[in-house]
A and B are shown apart, each in its own frame.
Chain A
Amino acid sequence: MKFLEHEAKSVFAEHGIPIPGGFLIRSADELSGYLEKLPPEFVLKAQVDVGGRGKAGGILITDRQNGVATARSLFGKTIKGVPVREILAEERLPIIHEYYASIAVDRSTKEALILFTEEGGVDIEKLARERPFAIRRASVPLLMTEIPPFMLRDLLRGAPNEAGRILQCLYTVFCRKDAILAEINPLVTTSSGIFAADAKLIVDDNALKRQGISQNRDLTERERAAERHGFSYVELDGNIGVIGNGAGLTMATLDLIDFFNGKAANFLDVGGGADQERVMHAVRLVAGVPSVRVIIVNLLGGITRCDEVARGIIDAKISQEVIVRLAGTNEEEGRCLLMEKGYRMLDSMEEAVRAAVEAVR
């Protein structure tokens, strides 16, 4: 789950990383109470989770005189489709130099990958493509409680020692918060010190519970409802509802729909042990999406009982057509149950997908 900038900054500050002085506001009027505490010139930063926020007009420089009016206009905006509900009003830093620092889970080495560059304030992916040698890297096995000094020396070279202390703090944040990414871009030096001018923190979805986070905000309401049933669910923008078991098989079903020029409305993996009730909930969930005109159920399993799945589909009592491909135990019984009720059950994934695409044409 992604933390918003102000949340990430609070976490960083708790772990000893200096951040600019500022206040979080939820309305323009709230700002007037803080004007005296802010410097004459300051920045308003929309707390929206989108890339390229600055370029999209989400960051505005203002002063005490115009602050409230500027905040009012920013609250009225949507930044790349996301409405502005919170703004961070923050001192404007007199920047001398910008660095970049991040720590992320690296799939290849299975270790924490630290990136540091003296060319901060940029799009790191673009920099990696265009000037990869400008980015310094170090890989830390998570069994280590801190970054070894030689790695810090390699990362920093001429950069101030204080940046090394901040990298060490960032590693502590990364470990304590079950982060998959902790990033400071830019990390800026001013005449009075070094500060995290922006902050990004993404926490592992599998660790939310032990991090004391009860709800994953990154999910839509329907995705959350699906999660409660133990389904993996992703909303897409087509009209063919998809239910499968196993992420790979469900993805392959979507790919086949795409291949036959259809458009999937969702990805739903019912997970292991698809019984009557789970299947019913899955079918109802997908049928509840207004754009869905037909649903394809593609289940394959050694232990999935096809008669149970068939009963689940029938129990769901939905208005859209359901096209079924089932393989597993009690296949014939499942087929009979479905045929009695007028459902179509097809033998191969390809036939089932073709039928679904035909049905919406």
Chain B
Amino acid sequence: MIYADKSAGIIVTGATGRQGAFHIALMNEYAKSIGGTGVVAGVTPGKGGQEIHGVPVYNSIRDAMADCDAGVSVIFVPASAAGDSIMESASAGLSLAVTITEHIPVHDTMKAIAYAKLHDCAVVGPNCPGLLSPGEIKLGIMPAHLFSRGNIGVISRSGTLTYEIVDELTKAGLGQSTVVGIGGDPVIGQTFSDVLRRFEEDGQTKAVVLIGEVGGALEEEGARSTDLPLAAYIAGISAPPEKRMGHAGAIIEGGEGDARSKIEQLRKM
């Protein structure tokens, strides 16, 4: 287990939106099933005083923290306000902001991550399914029924492909310690290296599955940074250059980031 355990109180921003409300229910269902704290507050500016699935909604994270004990946030607010929500989380003293929102302008992401760093707040995502430590905590939208508790860490730039692989792991009797969707954007908070560092300090994780894709060089950087046993899958071996393959970050640019060279480099390690 890394980042947060079952005792962590969760704040959901964008709580009154369709996605936010739906996933408050699912996160709390999971927390209830394992005896975790779950979502203690929702935040939507201007909607304070409402309740979503029994969870009180506040106008700001500060307001919520005055009433509730929370350590982490999960962000569902629309793209144009998501950078702001990351900074609000950091400013309020939360240690982790899991950002589900897709299509955030990359400059907003860069500023929000730089600001969060000043406040020692780790950002997971944006454009990610969140993270799940089986038996401990679910932060985000991952389908919990596919997961089982164990010693394998999983780090992925993708959503559904992660579920596919977690499903296979579970069926093969290989439970997971924590599964982290780090996001499909070109600029993301926690990278493979950051998550691997956490796994190294985590007594539970014995080996890590790394799920990467075309674009950038974060997979190679991560693999180089760790001594943990790794297995990797890189999507996009058939992706043409200069085309964005669904994720804003999945693009082979200026001759960098193609799947074959990633696989070759990972094999050499």
Name A residues whose Cβ lies closer than 8 Å to a Cβ of B: 105, 107-108, 110-112, 125, 141-143, 175, 178, 180, 204-207, 210, 232, 234, 236, 244-252, 254-255, 257-258, 264, 267, 269, 300-303, 349
Taking CB atoms, residues of chain A closer than 8 Å to B186 are: 105, 107, 180
The yes or no answer to B119 lying at the interface (CB within 8 A) is no
A255→B234 CA distance, assembly (Å): 10
State whether A110 and B110 are in contact (beta carbons under 8 Å apart), knowing that A247-B246, A255-B237, A258-B237 are contacts in the complex: yes
Check B114–A111 contact: CB distance below 8 A. Answer: yes
Q: How many A-B residue pairs have CB under 8 A?
A: 145
A302 touches B110 (CB 8 A): no
5 residue pairs of the A-B complex, CB under 8 angstroms, read A206-B103, A206-B248, A246-B160, A247-B245, A302-B144
Give every chain A residue within 8 A of B113 (Cβ-Cβ).
110
Of B159, B217, B236, which one neighbours A246 at CB under 8 angstroms?
B159
Q: Are the CB atoms of A108 and B217 closer together than 8 Å?
A: yes
Q: Which 5 A/B pairs are nearest by Cβ-Cβ distance?
A: A302-B143, A248-B158, A247-B246, A246-B160, A248-B161
Tell me the minimal C-beta distance from A245 to chain B in angstroms.
Answer: 6
B157 touches A206 (CB 8 A): no
Residues of A within 8 A of B246 (CB): 232, 234, 246-248, 250-251, 267, 269
Beta-carbon contact of A210 and B80 below 8 Å: yes
Contact A300 B163 (CB under 8 A): yes
- In this complex, what residue of A is CB-closest to B109? A110
Which one of B1-9, B51-59, B224-232, B249-257 is at the A interface?
B249-257
With A and B bound together, what is the CA distance between A18 and B129 in angstroms? 46
Binding site for A on B (CB under 8 A): 79-80, 103-107, 109-111, 113-115, 142-146, 156-164, 184, 186-187, 211, 213-218, 221, 233, 235-240, 243-250, 254-255, 259
Q: A252-B161, A301-B160, A302-B163 are in contact. Are A247 and B184 (CB under 8 A)?
A: yes
A278 CB to nearest chain B CB (Å): 15
Residues of B within 8 A of A141 (CB): 110, 114
A210 contacts across to B, CB distance below 8 A: 80, 105
State in angstroms the CA–CA spacing of A207 and B5 once bound together: 36
Q: Is the CB–CB distance between A142 and B244 below 8 Å?
A: no
The answer to whether B107 and A247 have CB atoms under 8 Å apart is no
CB atoms of B79 and A258 under 8 A apart: no
Determine the chain A residues whose CB is within 8 A of the CB of B255 once the complex forms. Answer: 125
**A236 close to B213 (CB less than 8 A):** no
A180–B79 alpha-carbon span in the complex (Å): 17
Question: Are the C-beta atoms of A204 and B106 separated by less than 8 Å?
Answer: yes
Known: A125-B254, A255-B237. A301 touches B163 (CB 8 A): yes
Known: A247-B247, A255-B238, A267-B245. A107 touches B161 (CB 8 A): no
In angstroms, how far is the closest chain B Cβ from the Cβ of A107? 4
Q: In angstroms, how far is the closest chain A Cβ from the Cβ of B52?
A: 18
Q: Given the complex of chains A and B, what is the CA–CA distance between A154 and B94 in angstroms?
A: 37
On chain A, the residues within 8 Å of B248 by CB distance are 205-206
Known: A141-B114, A142-B107, A248-B162. A255 touches B236 (CB 8 A): yes
